[in-house]
Structure 1
């Protein structure tokens, strides 16, 4: 990114007494900066919204919606926003708290008697607040394969399977990000109101705020003509390296996961959400409220500390002194200022929503690809601008860090797949028919391994047509080649019992930097026949 010193061109502009409050302009030459980054990083399109002191200062699209059909992005183009949508789920619950239908510290089972976790004590003690703050004891991303990349499971059935996921730590002992409990929170909305989460969010948030372009489901997103299509780099040694290509949107439909990150929002619509958040629940037009100021305080109230890993020297200026998780928001410091924010990632799209409450400023940045350095880099540049801090060229620094990280990961994968000099690992230890069968994991469900010609294939029925060819690596370990190119490859290892029969299958991602939602390591399949 070019070394441009962004300045506020309107900060000193004053109008007549009693006129509208003065607000700062976006950074000088900001649109040119965004367009330059699209070219430099190979990002198809982006959207940006900025509000300050009750005013919209920018809502604009950049680039194209798709590399295949390059219509221009505009301020009404909707982008998938991923986990930034968790704040909408907490807002839905805040509305229910204001209506007296629930309390934040109600026990979940008092509203959903069928709710169960692995441990009976955790089931009895888990509260609505616990669903939202990533302290349940589940491991990072545990259960995400129930909706990654897609699923035929209902939200209620997905919730029922949580009782089979073993915890990684004790309850409320630490932080580990999850999506499945936000799915439970969405089901809670339905149990309390009788309306699905989608209907409730549409009618009680989107419609009320006038967010007319945005959508609450994958199906509605795909049906929208003015949408940004997701893109990714899939033909390199690991995901994120190679050529930028559009993804098949129909290969990633997971209605059960929508409360954890299923919204798509335009820049114009997002301005209304940003203004309402900064207004602590007061809506931009008039004196009406979406939720009370008391609930706004609850949503921004830190509940659990997040660990902070040391940053490389060239990124250290952005490292916080503390980082916490509240109800659908991360609350931390940024170079001395209070920052309330959340990132979002669904495959092929990235977003961030950020608020500087003390400065009364909010931002939204989204791209239709997986170049996180652009989203996070522009966020830092906007933060620095509105905090009157020196320009740091964050996107370039983050890009350099990512490239080095990917290269190291690609080298590790190449080393893992290098031919072995051990002749005993040159072929499978069993004839292919010895691996064939159905295998069940209690929370994920059943997979089917079959012989197809001179190779093995595996089907994943609940993932709606997902299958993979298995290529032998060594001994009883195979690598998956999925029919969905967006799926991260995995190692499947068949373990044998004393009689030489398969008694379990374990899995792990091939790439050491695979997204945590590919939680293959939590799977443990055993032969269906042996379980009967």
Structure 2
């Protein structure tokens, strides 16, 4: 049955690729200006960079706003943004280049290149191939192990991630479904490093940035001021204002463990070069990647669930994950896309290969609904030209959905009872040093008359234990740890869960299983 479903999806996506675009006049800059200005005004965005390619040519590139909210430092097409998970296609492309060079094969077992690699199940360890690392069908829970990546900065290494994977219990059978993960892209970066004979960051520079002329892109450590023109993350306050986030860069930007999953930064000009390498490659870009590997990159691999909104807005029939890209039919046309999400940074890139067209934008602010509305309206300029779709139309629908969700949450969840810090006398069965096999050691110990929860390897994950309706939860000190967690104890174990069950899947507290290993004096 699963093979039949995937074949049907492949057929639908192939049909989209063959159907070709209907005739259309390129949209004017005035049209794009109106769309961008409407999005900026509706969502009070701190800064945005937007580019459009039509029939292989860059026809529109613009920026609005500031590098940091309130700074007066104007964004330019050379401003570099965190592209977050739009990194994944670049990581996959590094592997594709290594395949072209004969240094690995997509069907190589991961353990051929990383003998220390292991998943929870020994059979999965043996059977997992390089291609499996990229397509979100491993069996890992959605966002499984992401607490080793975020919040940043933390002290988890890539070796910690490779070692930790063997302890994360699967949520479903290997290759039987879709659940988005980040850790296996970190592993993919390590496979690339092993096969390519250089660190991941060096390979990205060598295999992507240099041959494609993406001169402003950065990965790994760099000097913020020497680089110059670096957009910074901004967070949205409840009143809609944006302010600089807690994760603004220091003068020396460090390398990060999550680089292969979401750590690349690029300018608008660089992202347009990246798009042209796929949509309208010149001789240099054609030589960069073989036609065989280009096709491999855009084959549907894992069917993805299709939301009712996608059906309603885009008439989508097929949606699948490829190597670092998502494939879908939209209004009868084939699209290749991805998004990027980090605290204070949102991005989207959408390609329409049959038209040799597409768009990209990067926002230096938390902007989930803004990204959805802007992506939809820009896409409709290609798939439904002349229909008069507006930011207001989709923003209003999203607002209505948000209000419905809030009303449902209020109906189903009673308001929080008062929270009271847990104070002495402390329960010796619940205080002490605890260890999870992949997250490591935490201490639940008294300090200054309060009970504190503190991670050894994730220093931002520190908070005060409070009692709410007789149940314990962690009130984190840092806003960057964006979801509070319940803390429960039973049978010598400590378990955790998101207070908001619908919260960000990267706050994967539910996958933690702590065992008490000592008292509070133990370090």
Q: TM-score, normalised by structure 1?
A: 0.86
For 2:383, the equivalent position in structure 1 comes to 387
DSSP 3-state at the match of 1:256: coil
Q: Say which SS state the counterpart of residue 169 (structure 2) adopts.
A: coil
Matches within 5 A, 1:387-466: 387-389=383-385, 390-394=387-391, 395-401=394-400, 403-404=402-403, 407-408=406-407, 411=410, 415-418=414-417, 431-434=425-428, 435-466=430-461
In the TM superposition, what whole-angstrom CA distance separates every residue of 1:66-95 from its partner, at most 9, and x where no partner exists? 114121111111111111110000100000
Deviation at 1:242? 5.9
Which ranges of 4 or more aligned residues in structure 1 deviate by more than 6 Å?
251-254, 426-430
- Is residue 207 of structure 2 the alignment partner of residue 201 of structure 1? no
Are 1:373 and 1:398, in contact at CA under 8 Å, matched by a contact in 2? Answer: no
1:184 is displaced (CA, Å) by: 0.3
Question: CA 1:29/1:278 → structure 2, altered by over 3 Å: closer, same or farther?
Answer: closer
Q: Give the 3 Å change call, closer, same or farther, for CA 157–132 of structure 1 in structure 2.
A: same
Partner of residue 3, structure 1 = none
Cα distance in 1 for partners of 2:225, 2:495 equals: 35
**Inter-partner Cα distance in structure 2 for 1:101 and 1:265:** 27
CA–CA distance in structure 1, aligned partners of residues 55 and 317 of structure 2: 27
Q: Is the 8 A contact 1:82 1:351 kept in 2?
A: yes
Secondary structure (helix, strand or coil) at the match of 1:383 reads helix
Equivalence map 1:115-514=2 (5 Å) = 115-150=117-152, 151-217=154-220, 224-233=227-236, 236=238, 243-249=241-247, 255-279=256-280, 282=281, 284=282, 286=284, 288-311=286-309, 316-389=312-385, 390-394=387-391, 395-401=394-400, 403-404=402-403, 407-408=406-407, 411=410, 415-418=414-417, 431-434=425-428, 435-478=430-473, 480-497=474-491, 503-514=492-503
User: How much does 1:53 deviate?
Assistant: 2.3
CA distance in 1, matches of 2:421, 2:336: 54
Alignment gaps of 5+ in structure 2: 1-22
Moved more, 408-417 or 316-325: 408-417
Q: Give 3-state SS (helix, strand or coil) of 1:249's partner.
A: coil
Residues 491 and 464 of structure 1: CA distance in aligned 2, closer, same or farther (over 3 Å): closer
Q: State how far apart, in whole Å, the 2-side matches of 1:230 and 1:441 are.
A: 32
Conservation of the 8 A alpha-carbon contact between 1:449 and 1:459: yes
Report if aligned partners of 1:231, 1:246 keep a CA contact under 8 Å in 2: yes
Q: What residue is the counterpart of 1:528 in the other structure? A: 517
Q: For 1:162, what is the secondary structure of its paired residue?
A: helix
Contact 1:488 1:514 in 2 (8 A): no
1:67 to 66, 69, 74: 69
Aligned length: 490
2:108 corresponds to which of 103, 106, 109: 106
Give, in whole Å, the separation in 2 of the partners of 1:62 and 1:137: 41
Gaps of at least 5 residues in structure 1 are 1-9, 13-23, 421-425, 498-502
Per chain length, whose mean CA-contact separation is higher, i.e. which structure has more relative contact order (CA < 8 Å, sep 6+)? 2
Q: What is the root-mean-square deviation of aligned Cα atoms in Å? A: 2.7
